[in-house]
Amino acid sequence: MEYCENYNLKNHSTLKIGPVNAKVVYIDKKEDIEQSLEIAKKQNLIPYPLGGGSNTVFSDSVVDKYLFLIPRMSSIKLFGKRSDLKNSERSDLEENSLITIDAGLEWDKAVEQTVEMDLSGLEALSWIPGLVGASPVQNIGAYGAEVKDSIHTVHTYDFREKKFVDFSNEECEFEYRNSIFKKSPGRYFIYAVTFSLLKISAKARPSVPQYKDVISYFETRNIISPTLKEIRESIIEIRKAKLPNPLETPNAGSYFGNPIVSKEKAEILLQKFPSMPMFDFEPSSSVTPTSLSFPWRRESMDQEYFSSEKSPDHNSTCQSPSLRLETLPSSPRIRKDDKQEYKKLFAGWLIDKAGLKGYENNNFSIHKDHALVIIGNEKGTLSELLEFESYIKQKVFEIFGVELEREPVIVN
């Protein structure tokens, strides 16, 4: 465990917003979590778990409120075949293996290592930013895969009950870009995640994501049966070509989530905007839309951006059309067994058609090529960002009657 003062949270946020004098504890083993509580208690601070900062923005007030806990352990343990499967399940999952990965390992490095082990399940989630410990929180997903599909157990420390708690997949209450951990921000420190992955063999071949960009990638290269490594390489290349590098251009990836609406509401939108793109949405659990829109986080392929090594913080004392559409009535709670049909809209298309691509104000702007990406210049404040966000949401609502929801977490 290592305690740091004057930690630069601005460098821990890819939007480059935050104070420069925060207090942080690096967690090197799970026993450090309980020891960090003593530090927090002595300083009258609230312990708060942090990931890689790729989806987080901090207010200046956090300095006097939180002791931030950042996982630094990064080991991988392979346990072999699963022993919890019923006989009826074993035929299809004969080669599934359990692998536990520490929370502090960068997500993409974890994916890379599982691919090198010929373990399939995470390759479609390549080049997503952040740490392993953050992956269950919003149930990250891309190219038809969600991390919940591969999670066996999430290992946590419960700050409220002051004890270690393991969550099974079902107990995680996974939803589209949501989980029990996201619903209770700051309560659980995830120190490791156990995955159930398919061992690739002559009898078990990797599945290629059935998305246009991925299919085109292999067709142009005349690759008929791609390997696990080739699938991962295709995802990385496609992502790199889509979104800006946060080390070069401060951004938090896709800033707004894709709204989800009922089929009936989608048809009303199509009457006014015939070219509006949308696709089917099938809930994986009970979820609740608000107003016309259904706000959850991060859509798969076009909205993810890639992860890179961060530069060390040398200032820290620790070296380590103009048609109006009236608001539609609120949607009912969507349940997993709901028979009603739902459609997912593209938030980027809504922003683009509202004429906002390339829009600038103060220290923030919408990327000229990617309408979902808000970029900064390292001079902006949280209040300026929220004002900029509010203007975008207002313009989209005025034209389409759709409410956009922010993806990045504001810690204040």
Q: What is the pLDDT of residues 322-381, one digit of tens each?
A: 333 333 333 334 555 556 788 999 999 999 999 999 999 989 999 998 899 999 999 999
**Res 52: pLDDT:** 85
Share of the chain above pLDDT 70, in %: 82
Task: Report if residue 231 sits inside a domain.
Answer: no
Question: Using CA atoms, how far apart are residues 162 and 146, in angstroms rounded to an integer?
Answer: 30
Q: Highest mean pLDDT: which of 9-13, 291-295, 308-312, 354-358? A: 354-358
Q: Are residues 155 and 259 in the same domain?
A: no
Of 38, 42, 40, the residue nearest 67 (C-alpha) = 40
Helix (H) or strand (E) holding 154: strand 151-158
Give mean pLDDT, residues 284-297.
37
Lowest mean pLDDT among 47-61, 134-148, 269-283, 317-331: 317-331
Task: Report if residue 343 sits inside a domain.
Answer: yes
Mean pLDDT (the chain) is: 83
Q: Are residues 200 and 342 in the same domain?
A: no
Share of the chain above pLDDT 90, in %: 62
Q: Are residues 34 and 95 in the same domain?
A: no
* pLDDT, tens digit, 9 for 90 and up, residues 170-208: 999 998 788 999 999 899 999 999 999 999 886 778 899
Among 37, 71, 105, the domain boundary falls at: 71
**Res 281: pLDDT:** 82
Q: Are residues 274 and 172 in the same domain?
A: no
Does pLDDT of 110 surpass 50?
yes
Q: Are residues 309 and 275 in the same domain?
A: yes
CB of 41 closer than 8 Å to CB of 22: no
**Res 312: pLDDT:** 35
Give mean pLDDT, residues 270-298.
62
Give mean pLDDT, residues 139-168.
95
Among 25, 50, 71, the domain boundary falls at: 71
Does pLDDT of 156 surpass 90?
yes
Give mean pLDDT, residues 71-86.
75
Give mean pLDDT, residues 275-300.
53
Question: Using CA atoms, how far apart are residues 159 and 164, in angstroms rounded to an integer?
Answer: 9
**Res 144: pLDDT:** 85
Lowest mean pLDDT among 140-144, 156-160, 191-195: 140-144
Give mean pLDDT, residues 129-135.
93
Give mean pLDDT, residues 56-71.
93
Model confidence band, residue 243 (pLDDT cutoffs 50, 70, 90): confident
Indicate the pTM of the whole model: 0.80
Token pair listed for 230: 């080739």
The number of folded domains in the chain is 3
Q: Are residues 152 and 299 in the same domain?
A: no
Q: Which residue has the tokens 């399939």?
A: 120
Strand ranges across the sheet with 278-281: 260-262, 342-345, 278-281
Give mean pLDDT, residues 69-81.
89
Q: Are residues 169 and 57 in the same domain?
A: no
Task: Report if residue 218 sits inside a domain.
Answer: no
**CATH, residue 140:** 3.30.465.10
Q: Which residues contact 180 (CB under 8 A, 6 or more apart)?
A: 167, 171, 172, 173, 188
Does pLDDT of 258 surpass 60?
yes
Give mean pLDDT, residues 156-172.
97
Model confidence band, residue 283 (pLDDT cutoffs 50, 70, 90): low
Model confidence band, residue 53 (pLDDT cutoffs 50, 70, 90): confident
Alpha carbon of 24 to those of 40, 71, 159, 331, 367: distances in Å?
10, 11, 16, 42, 32
**Which has more pLDDT, 301 or 21?**
21
Q: Which residue has the tokens 């009922």?
A: 262
**Res 221: pLDDT:** 96
Q: Are residues 400 and 283 in the same domain?
A: yes
Q: Are residues 272 and 143 in the same domain?
A: no
Does pLDDT of 121 surpass 90?
yes
**Res 336: pLDDT:** 55
Of 300, 296, 305, 307, the residue nearest 373 (C-alpha) = 305
Among 54, 71, 88, the domain boundary falls at: 71
Lowest mean pLDDT among 148-152, 201-205, 246-250, 255-259: 201-205
Do the strands 46-49 and 66-71 form a parallel or antiparallel pair, or are they unpaired? parallel
Which structural domain, as residue segments, surrounds residue 137?
76-205
Of 149, 119, 123, 120, the residue nearest 136 (C-alpha) = 149
Model confidence band, residue 293 (pLDDT cutoffs 50, 70, 90): very low
